[in-house]
Amino acid sequence: MDNGYWAKIDARRVAPSTQIPHGIRYSLTLHDRYNRRVLGFDNAHATKPGRKRYIARKTTWDHRHDKDRTTDYGFQSPEQLMEDFWKEAERIMEERR
């Protein structure tokens, strides 16, 4: 892609579980020309709950990596995941031009 960016997409069907109820294990990443990940959507591990005292503890596996932070991602469908990933990838590449 422009300026040496490249993307890696890995997805496969798995048995639905409480961690992956939709039955798709995925990792979508965007890397810069120095091979640094600049964006990622995946469900490879649970996200850590916030440190607030009185919140319900929800373990979410679908999440997004952007810079140095991880945030929950509301998986809806494979099509929406692809659309969200490419929209963010294009925004990041445009922002860094």
Mean pLDDT by 10 residues, the chain (97 residues): 92 92 95 95 77 55 88 93 97 91
Check: CB of residue 61 under 8 Å from CB of residue 7. no
**pLDDT the model gives residue 13:** 96
Residue type at position 27: S
The count of other CB atoms within 10 Å of the CB of residue 83 is 12
d(CA 70, CA 42): 10
Check: CB of residue 95 under 8 Å from CB of residue 2. no
Question: Is the whole-model pTM more than 0.75?
Answer: yes
**pLDDT the model gives residue 27:** 96
